[in-house]
Amino acid sequence: MKKIIIALAFLGIAFAGQAQQDPAYSMYLFNGLYVNPAYAGSHEVMSLVGIFRQQWVDMDGAPTTANISINTPFRRPQYAMGLVVSNDKIGLGNTFSFTPSFAYRIKIRKSHLCFGLQASFAYFYRNNSKSDLPSGTPDNTTSVNTNLFMPNVGFGIYLYGKKYFIGVSAPHLMPSSLRSNVGLLSYNDAIARIYNYYVLTAGYVVGREQSVVKFRPSLMMKWQQGLPNNIPQFDFNLALLFIDRIWVGAGLRTQGDAYMSSGSTLKFGPESLIAFAQVRITPQLQLGYAYDYSLSNLHNANSGTHEIMLGYDFWYDKKRFVTPRYVSYF
């Protein structure tokens, strides 16, 4: 009963807000299943995470995102499964997605090499009747509401040990176009579509096991068709871990629209600065918060981005945790 109550509480958090398709979470390290299906089972117990993200506060139509993910190894730990449920809203569009995943895990000494598959089922809805356009504006896209079902598949590889991880994934392997599926010719086919994209994540914890303070650099690289100048987006993060319970860190996200004095666009412009903290309140319960400060041209139009994370690990097999640790490094 306790597990059911906690799960229902997380579902309430996940759907209290509405949220954009494939958002860039600042606390992606605590939400690994979202970017890589091979992450399933890596906590070695059933793990539940809920995240709510309010992007570009004070800007009309800005993205609002909520998702909940759960993953667990089987009794035979070489197998694991997971599920991500998301609700993403940006402007007049809303996307609800349901993404189950399966992972096969191979133990190599003190590490695990994992292979993951996922199937994504997304429903996109755009309420064009709420468009607020000047009278006489010629735009055929506002003449009819848009409904679209978008299935997809993804693949990932994840290698991790106690103090390191590296993962590669392709969450979308089936490109989808609003123009070809909905038939609205006024959509730009180069923009109104889901492209294949690829993600690389990596991190390492520096410090002895008994150290009071540990150091963790990490990065995420995301590349997809259609990015400006074909340059990948990077998240660079540095974090300190205090007494194996409190993470405090900062990060930089690239791929902004910064400009040089000549007026030309920077090919590697900064998009935002990120500050985050995560606390392991009990051995099973964790709470996190992140704040993004915009460095792009949008910084004058918003007051930042807020992200809240709540996680819970179900230690259903306590015999496997004779000396429970208060932290999962990744």
**pLDDT tens-digit profile of 193-240?**
666 788 999 999 998 888 889 999 999 998 876 655 667 888 999 999
CA neighbor of 80 nearest in space, from 116, 121, 36: 116
Most confidently predicted of 127-136, 179-188, 270-279, 292-301: 270-279
Q: Is the dihedral of CA 51, 313, 45, 218 positive or negative?
A: positive
What pTM does this model have?
0.80
Which residues does residue 28 pair with via DSSP β-bridges, in sequence order? Answer: none
Domain ranges across the chain = 2-320
DSSP letter assigned to residue 232: P
Average pLDDT value over all residues in the chain: 78
Q: How is residue 218 annotated by DSSP? A: E
DSSP symbols for 67-136:
EEEEEEE-SSTTEEEEEEEEEEEETTEEEEEEEEEEEEEEEETTEEEEEEEEEEEEEEEE-GGG----TT
Question: What integer pLDDT is reported at residue 149 of this predicted model?
Answer: 83
**What is the spatial distance between Cα 105 and Cα 80, in angstroms, rounded to a whole number?**
8
Please tell me the predicted confidence (pLDDT) of residue 247. Answer: 92
**Which carries the bigger pLDDT value, residue 177 or residue 50?**
50
Into which CATH architecture does domain 2-320 fall?
Answer: Beta Barrel (2.40)
The pairing of beta strand 79-90 with beta strand 64-73: antiparallel
CA gap 126, 84 in Å, rounded = 22
Share of the chain above pLDDT 90, in %: 35
Q: Which of 71, 148, 144 is nearest to 114 (CA)?
A: 71
CB atoms within 10 A of CB 92: 18
Sorted by sequence, the CB contacts under 8 Å of residue 208 that are 6+ apart come out as none
CA distance to 155, 223, 272, per residue, from 268 (Å): 28, 13, 12
Model confidence pLDDT, tens digit, residues 76-134: 889 999 999 999 888 777 888 999 999 999 999 889 999 999 999 988 887 766 555 55
Task: Look at residue 295 in the predicted model and tell me its pLDDT.
Answer: 83
> pLDDT value at position 203?
93
Give the chain's end-to-end CA distance (angstroms, integer): 28
Residue type, 90: I
The pLDDT tens digits of the residues spanning 238-263 come to 999 998 889 999 999 887 554 454 55
Handedness of CA 8, 9, 10, 12 (dihedral sign): positive
SS3 264: coil
324 versus 52: the higher-pLDDT residue is: 52
AA identity, residue 328: S
Predicted pLDDT at 270: 79
Q: What is the DSSP letter of 48?
A: E
Give the pLDDT score at 29: 85
Please tell me the predicted confidence (pLDDT) of residue 263: 53
Residue 7 pLDDT class (50, 70, 90 cuts): very low
How far, in Å, CA of 151 to CA of 238, rounded?
36
Which of 108-112, 144-148, 264-268 is the most confident on average?
A: 108-112
